[in-house]
Structure 1
């Protein structure tokens, strides 16, 4: 079944006001194109779930899309704060963001529980800090084998998981290499899955290298072909991280006026990702494009 559509169509069909969403990826494969389309379509009251909310979630917050943030670390990686998040979470804010914080493994475990069809997940964790004290979802259970007290977190079922990958086929079988995030867990836990790919390839290509398939097409609702959909994040094997952007973002995002100017120019002011790319500095994409470094293949002979 060919599930290909535009990003605009995928977001319109999959994400509704009040939904709980995951835009996954860890360091690379962070789909800014999906976040920008959510802003353009004016989604509201979203619960935004992500182990490491960085710039794309901060932009959703500044645009007024997010009511609740479920996370385990937040910041502009290697640079500084997320200023929209800070403004919306400080005591003086009239419309404060609802925050629900976990450790990395705690939030991942919530997705793992949902993916496995379990009501909760036990952890030998949360003894050395205050997170469990302020998060009522973190509870305890006594181990029936050892009598030890273990922490638990409840299963988390996002309404939508959006994940970017290096390649997928038209059915949505998605392959990832390089750093892995929680793509697999978030996809299996979700009610709906949108796959965004740098390349769309025939199913025979996917089947020829099956171990790279992180998400099977049977879970996928929509497939979007969106090269450069992760800029300023990177995609292993396709393009590098735009480090200069992350550094410049500290000043852009610090003041609401300059923040809104950016959103107007690069999100509201363009129709789609192609329009965004056309507004980037001339020659930038060529400088970021990855140099070939192919990995030797394997023989799956039988």
Structure 2
């Protein structure tokens, strides 16, 4: 059952050293504020899971939180590679990191299997692909009914999932508008789920009921963090901050510049700072 609490408490109560954690968001609604709080709290030895790791995972990897990354595609969207991730892979800086790479289809099916309580996902995919040569968790199974050879991957069942959304009502039901991505399945697959939201409303009586995609009983904690998806956008609230993504490419390229930026903008910052960051972006 969803409990409203400050983000600092929500992270402290639900994310532990050694956890498998998903900070999911696709194009928009990326839970940056939650990831920054995890960095401030010095959580370590995480297995980070996400369909499209971008800047926020670059920051977590660069600060040494991750021991492993389970993912499909990684990059600074519209800009280029993740330089802190690359430094960890090529130079073990600030620590070695293990990679388990999948396709988008595999990750989506793995989350769905986790949400359904299944041990693995079975789907059509990877035929003729080379990825199975470097990922021992990509298997083949034969359908007992048709004889068709299918792909199989382990279900994703995070210890903790963090997402950002537009609204929660007073009961803790969560509404997501725009691109939903895999957030719903990532929450339902998790042991514990934390949702940061732009605002809390009395109810969703004036909105289509199908927009309420996450019921309060599937959520552990809700934290109100206006602007908490910056620099990604939140549909209906603020646009994508493209300048910040471009700036990150230069910051992440230098170890000392990276640490200085993180100290100033993450370690010394608070969740409340996110509202000011999006105030100048305008509404969408």
- Map 1:181-260 onto structure 2 (within 5 A): 181-202=181-202, 204-205=203-204, 209-260=208-259
Is the partner of 1:118 in helix, strand or coil?
coil
Is the partner of 1:190 in helix, strand or coil?
coil
Counterparts in 2 of 1:33 and 1:96: CA distance versus 1, 3 Å:
same
- 1:209, distance to aligned residue in structure 2 (A): 2.9
Looking at structure 1, the residues matched to 2 and 115 of structure 2 have their Cα atoms a distance apart, in angstroms, of 25
Looking at structure 2, the residues matched to 85 and 236 of structure 1 have their Cα atoms a distance apart, in angstroms, of 28
C-alpha contact (below 8 Å) 2:64/2:94 kept by paired residues: no
C-alpha contact (below 8 Å) 1:11/1:37 kept by paired residues: yes
Counterparts in 2 of 1:92 and 1:197: CA distance versus 1, 3 Å:
closer
- 1:93, distance to aligned residue in structure 2 (A): 5.3
How big is each residue's C-alpha offset from its partner over 1:71-127, in whole Å with a ceiling of 9 and x where there is no partner?
000000010110110000116658321100100010111111111122211121112
State the partner residue of 1:101. Answer: 101
Is the partner of 1:239 in helix, strand or coil?
coil
Work out which structure has the larger RCO, using CA pairs closer than 8 Å and 6 or more positions apart in sequence. Answer: 2
Report which stretch shifted further, 99-108 or 166-175.
Answer: 166-175
Looking at structure 1, the residues matched to 147 and 217 of structure 2 have their Cα atoms a distance apart, in angstroms, of 40
- 1:145, distance to aligned residue in structure 2 (A): 2.0
C-alpha contact (below 8 Å) 1:22/1:50 kept by paired residues: yes
Looking at structure 2, the residues matched to 217 and 92 of structure 1 have their Cα atoms a distance apart, in angstroms, of 41
State the partner residue of 2:271. Answer: 273
TM norm structure 2: 0.95
Looking at structure 1, the residues matched to 265 and 210 of structure 2 have their Cα atoms a distance apart, in angstroms, of 37
C-alpha contact (below 8 Å) 2:46/2:65 kept by paired residues: yes
Is the partner of 2:3 in helix, strand or coil?
coil
State the partner residue of 1:79. Answer: 79
TM norm structure 1: 0.90
How big is each residue's C-alpha offset from its partner over 1:40-67, in whole Å with a ceiling of 9 and x where there is no partner?
0000000110000000011001111111
Counterparts in 2 of 1:22 and 1:178: CA distance versus 1, 3 Å:
same
Root-mean-square deviation (Å): 1.7
State the partner residue of 1:285. Answer: 279
Is the partner of 1:90 in helix, strand or coil?
helix
What stretches of structure 1 of length at least 5 have no aligned partner?
292-302
C-alpha contact (below 8 Å) 2:62/2:94 kept by paired residues: no
Is the partner of 1:198 in helix, strand or coil?
strand
Looking at structure 2, the residues matched to 207 and 145 of structure 1 have their Cα atoms a distance apart, in angstroms, of 47
